[in-house]
Amino acid sequence: MTILEKSGKITRKIEKAEMKASRLPPAEFTEEQLCSALCRESFYDFVQEFWSVIVPEEAVWNWHIKFICDELQQMAERVFKGLPKEHDLTVNVSPGSSKTLILSIMFPAWVWTRMRTARIITASYSYDIAVASSLKSRDLIESEKYRALFPEVQLREDQNAKNHYMTKMGGERYAFGIGGAVTGKHAHFIIVDDPLNPSQAFSSAELQATNRWMEETLPSRKVNKLVTPTILIMQRLAENDPTGVRLEKAHKLPHRLICLPAELAENISPPECRRYYVDGLMDPVRLPYEVLQEIEETQGSFVLASQYGQSPIPRGGLMFMTHKLIIEKPPKRFKKLIRAWDKAGTAGGGNYTVGVKMGEDYDGHYWVLHVVRGQWDSGARERIIRETAKEDGRGVEIVVEEEPGSGGKQSAQGSVRNLAGFRVRAHKVGKSDGDKEQRADAFSAQVNVGNVYLAKAPWNEAFIHEMKFFPRSKHKDQVDAASSAFNHVAVVKRIAGGRSVRNKLTGL
C-alpha cells in the first residue's frame, strides 16, 4: 500500500488529475506526481488530502471550509505573481470550525508548495498558542506524505526552532504572541489567529494593547506593503476588538469581511453565504440548535452572541435591554429637568464630552430629551456647555461631574464659574458612587422595565448603540452622562429613622 492509498481519497483525486493531464501532451505520471500537482493547484484539495495527517478524527466537511480555503487561495495567487493585493481579509467564525487548522497550520504549508521563498508571520493571543500551531504545521511539512508529494520543500537543519524555521530556499515562518517583538522581520503573508481570548476582551487595557500592536506594529512588517496581505481570523468579543477596529477603517483601506454566525442572522457577510445555511444553521452537524442552546445555558447569552453569533452583544444588550426603550414625542411639562455633563478635553480624538438632558414626567416616566456630544478642546467645550445652558433655559438644573484628584476639582470649578447665573453644581465622584457599571445600575433598571423614553432625534442611533454594548462599549461617555442625569433626577429621599429610599420608580 502506498502513502497515497492510505488517505482514502486518492482515487477521486487521481481521476481528476488524469482528466486534466489528458488535455496535455502524452506523458507518464506517477500517482504521487498527479496528487502533488492537484494539491498545489487547489488549497482546498490540499486540506482534504492532509487532514488526516494532523487530525486523528474523521473530518466533517461543511461548506464554510471550502469557502474560506478558496478566499485564502485567491489572495495567495496574487502574492505568488507579485501583484498588488485587492484587500486584507477578516474572517469571523465560531470556535470549533477548524479555523486554526485551515489558516495557521495548513495554509503556510501549502504556500510553500507554490512559493518556497515565502516568509510568513503568524500570531495569536499567546505565544504558546502561536507556537503550538507552528509546531503542527512543521509536523505536517516533515510528515512522510508531505515529503513524498513535495520533496523540494525541505527545512534547514540549522534553523528549525519551534517558533522560527526556514526552508532551504529561504522561506521562513515566525510565530509570535500578540505584543511580541517583530522588529527586523518582514513577511509576504501576515496571519493573525485569535488575537484575543475572551478574558482579555473584558480588559480595556488588553484591548488597547492588542489593537495598537496590530494597527501600529504589524503593518510595518511587510516585504511589500502593496502586496503583503494581513489575514485575521477570530470570533467577535467586543465592539472595539480587532475586527471592530478594522471595520471602522474599512472605508479607508481595502478590506473584505467574511462573517459566518452559527445561526442565520443579518450580519452574515458576504450576504450570498445565506443560501448555504441549512435550516438556519451554518454548520448543522457540529453546531446544531441543541449545542447552541447548551452553550447559552452553560456559558451565557454573551458567549453565544459574540463567539457564535459574531455580534458581541446578547439579544437585547448587555446591561441595557435597549429594545425596551420607547421613542416618542415628549410631554410639555416635567416634574424635574437635569442636564448632566461628562467632560473630556481632547479635540478630534479620545473620549467625548457629553451632556445629557433628562426629565421625569408627571406619570413617573423618565425621558432622555437631548444629547450633546463632541470631541472638543477645553475652550470649545466650555463655550458649548454655556451655549447649551442658554438653550435649555434656567428651568434645567446643571450637574457637572467632578472626577477624583485636583485636576478634576479644578475642571469642575471652572465649569461652575463658566455657568454663573444658572442653577449648577458639581458632583464629586467618590468611592460611594462605585464604578461606571454601578453608577449605571439604577438607570439600566428603569430601561429594562420599559420606563425610559427617548425624544426622537438624530442622536438616538449613537446613544442606543453605546448602550447596547455597555459596559464593553468602545466609548462610555453617553451612558456615564445619562446615568448621572438619572441619579440626580431620581434623587434619594430620607424617611423616618434615617433610612433612605430611592424614588419608587427606580426599581431599587
SS (H, E, C) 257-308: EEEECCECCCCCECHHHHHHCECCECCCCCCCHHHHHHHHHHHCHHHHHHHH
Specify the higher pLDDT residue, 508 or 290: 290
- For residue 4, pLDDT over 60 is answered with no
Q: Are residues 188 and 278 in the same domain?
A: yes
Question: pLDDT band at 408, cuts 50/70/90?
Answer: confident
Q: Are residues 257 and 387 in the same domain?
A: no
Q: CA dist 313 to 319, 393, 466, Å?
A: 10, 38, 11
**Residue 508: per-residue pLDDT:** 34
SS (H, E, C) 308-329: HCCCCCCCCCCCCCHHHCEEEC
- For residue 31, pLDDT over 80 is answered with yes
Identify the CATH number of the domain in which residue 158 sits: 3.40.50
Task: Give the whole-number percent of the chain exceeding pLDDT 90.
Answer: 69
Amino acid (one-letter) located at 139: D
pLDDT tens string 353-373: 999 999 999 999 999 999 999
Q: Are residues 393 and 260 in the same domain?
A: no
Specify the higher pLDDT residue, 357 or 2: 357
Residue 19 resides in a domain: no
The β-bridge relationship of strands 119-124 and 230-234 is unpaired
Q: Are residues 199 and 82 in the same domain?
A: yes
Residue 106 belongs to domain spanning: 60-308
pLDDT tens string 248-283: 887 778 899 999 999 999 999 999 999 999 999 999
Beta bridge partners of 357: 339, 370
pLDDT, average across residues 495-506: 41
Residue 9 resides in a domain: no
Q: Are residues 70 and 147 in the same domain?
A: yes
3-state secondary structure of 422: coil
Amino acid (one-letter) located at 352: Y
Give the Cα-Cα-Cα angle 295, 301, 303 (nearest 5 degrees): 65
3-state secondary structure of 210: helix
CA-CA distance, 244 to 214, in Å (whole number)? 12
- The side-by-side arrangement of strands in the sheet containing 353-360 is 326-328, 452-455, 366-374, 353-360, 336-342, 397-402, 424-428
**Could you tell me the sign of the dihedral formed by the alpha carbons of 260, 266, 270, 275, in that order?**
positive
Amino acid (one-letter) located at 71: E
pLDDT, average across residues 63-86: 97
* Residue (of 345, 356, 311, 319) closest to 463 by Cα position: 356
- For residue 240, pLDDT over 80 is answered with yes
Specify the higher pLDDT residue, 13 or 116: 116
Residue 317 resides in a domain: no
Q: Are residues 386 and 304 in the same domain?
A: no
Question: pLDDT band at 434, cuts 50/70/90?
Answer: confident
Helix (H) or strand (E) holding 400: strand 397-402
Q: Are residues 144 and 218 in the same domain?
A: yes
3-state secondary structure of 356: strand
User: Quick count: other Cβ atoms within 10 Å of Cβ 178?
Assistant: 26
Residue 51 resides in a domain: no
Q: Are residues 261 and 365 in the same domain?
A: no
CA-CA distance, 478 to 461, in Å (whole number)? 12
Amino acid (one-letter) located at 134: S
- For residue 22, pLDDT over 70 is answered with no
**Residue 498: per-residue pLDDT:** 43
pLDDT tens string 297-324: 998 888 899 999 998 877 666 789 898 9
Q: Are residues 386 and 273 in the same domain?
A: no
Q: Tell me, rounded to whole angstroms, the distance of Cα 420 from its chain centroid.
A: 45
Q: Are residues 69 and 190 in the same domain?
A: yes
Residues across the chain: 508
Question: pLDDT band at 160, cuts 50/70/90?
Answer: confident
The set of long-range contacts for 408-415, using a CB threshold of 8 Å and a minimum separation of 24, is 411/343, 411/345, 411/378, 414/382, 415/341, 415/343, 415/382, 415/385
Q: How many domains does the chain have?
A: 2
Question: pLDDT band at 50, cuts 50/70/90?
Answer: very high
- For residue 492, pLDDT over 60 is answered with no
Identify the CATH number of the domain in which residue 346 sits: 3.30.420.240
pLDDT, average across residues 379-400: 94
Q: Are residues 434 and 348 in the same domain?
A: yes
CA-CA distance, 472 to 203, in Å (whole number)? 9
- For residue 291, pLDDT over 90 is answered with yes
